[in-house]
Amino acid sequence: MAEGPVGTRCTADGLELFSTADEAALVADGRGDHAHFTYWCPEVFGPDLEISWDFRPLHGGGLAMIFFAATGAAGEDLFDPALGERTGFYPQYHSGDIATLHISYLRRKWAGEKRFRTCNLRKSPGFHLVAQGADPLPGPEDADGWYRIRVTKQGPEVTFAIDDLDLFTWTDDGACGPPLAGGRIGFRQMSPLVARYRNLEVRPL
């Protein structure tokens, strides 16, 4: 389920995602942040799970992110028609009418992200930065094949790892709102990143 200008290409070794927007024209028009997108899986998952997938950045700066435990802010289904329209514009996701956890794991859009590379876990609504870890992923220019990414959510605890290297563990103590339970998962990219995904596995715990 696509929100925003999602381009997809099925290749022999994975699903390629890219933005179809003319980012330069949007920037010139003052709407550069509308060049990005979110691509949701159609299933609803339980509260305790392990999500893992292969990721390969191909070219372009930008950002890659995963949303999980995503629902409406009052517990509705993420696609309840009473919720506001979402078009890939990031504030709709971090400070709108949905509740979700989201990890940005490849951050190469802005100069500060390139200078000091971190993986960030945020909780929404409210754009709360709740955990950080070092980002070991190379940019597309240095990437060598595929990287296995893993998110584990069990009770209030979230662990994030790349190629079996644990990067952070966070326990939700309710300081930024009640701990989130089950919901949907989705992948987000910021233009101009082009990346491939394969072997998505969601395992209940």
Q: Per-residue pLDDT tens for 63-106? A: 999 999 999 999 999 999 999 999 999 999 999 999 999 999 99
Residue that has been written with the tokens 């000091």 in this structure:
116
Q: Which of 52-56, 103-107, 137-141, 193-197 has the lowest mean pLDDT?
A: 137-141
Q: Per-residue pLDDT tens for 150-190? A: 999 999 999 999 999 999 999 999 999 999 999 999 999 99
| CB contact set of 116 (below 8 Å; sequence gap of 6+) | none
Which value, to the nearest 10 degrees, does the dihedral of the CA atoms of residues 109, 115, 118, 124 take?
A: -50
pLDDT at 113 over 90: no
What are the tokens at 189?
């990219």
The band of 121, judged by pLDDT with boundaries at 50, 70 and 90, is: very high
Domain 44-84+91-184+198-204 of CATH type 2.60.120.200: yes
Report the relative pairing of strands 128-134 and 147-154 from DSSP bridges.
Answer: unpaired
- pLDDT for position 183: 98
**Residue boundaries of the structural domains of the chain:** 44-84+91-184+198-204
Is residue 198 within 8 A of residue 146, CB to CB? The reply is yes
Q: Which residue has the higher pLDDT, 171 or 141?
A: 171
Cis peptide preceding 178, ω within 30 of 0: no
- pLDDT for position 109: 78
- pLDDT for position 29: 61
Q: Per-residue pLDDT tens for 9-46? A: 999 999 999 999 876 665 656 666 888 999 999 999 99
- pLDDT for position 140: 87
Cα–Cα distance for residue pair 38/110, rounded to 1 Å? 19
Q: Which residue has the higher pLDDT, 152 or 109?
A: 152
- How far CA 42 is from CA of 19, 23, 52, 57, 199, in Å, comes to 20, 28, 16, 24, 16
The band of 60, judged by pLDDT with boundaries at 50, 70 and 90, is: confident
- pLDDT for position 28: 59
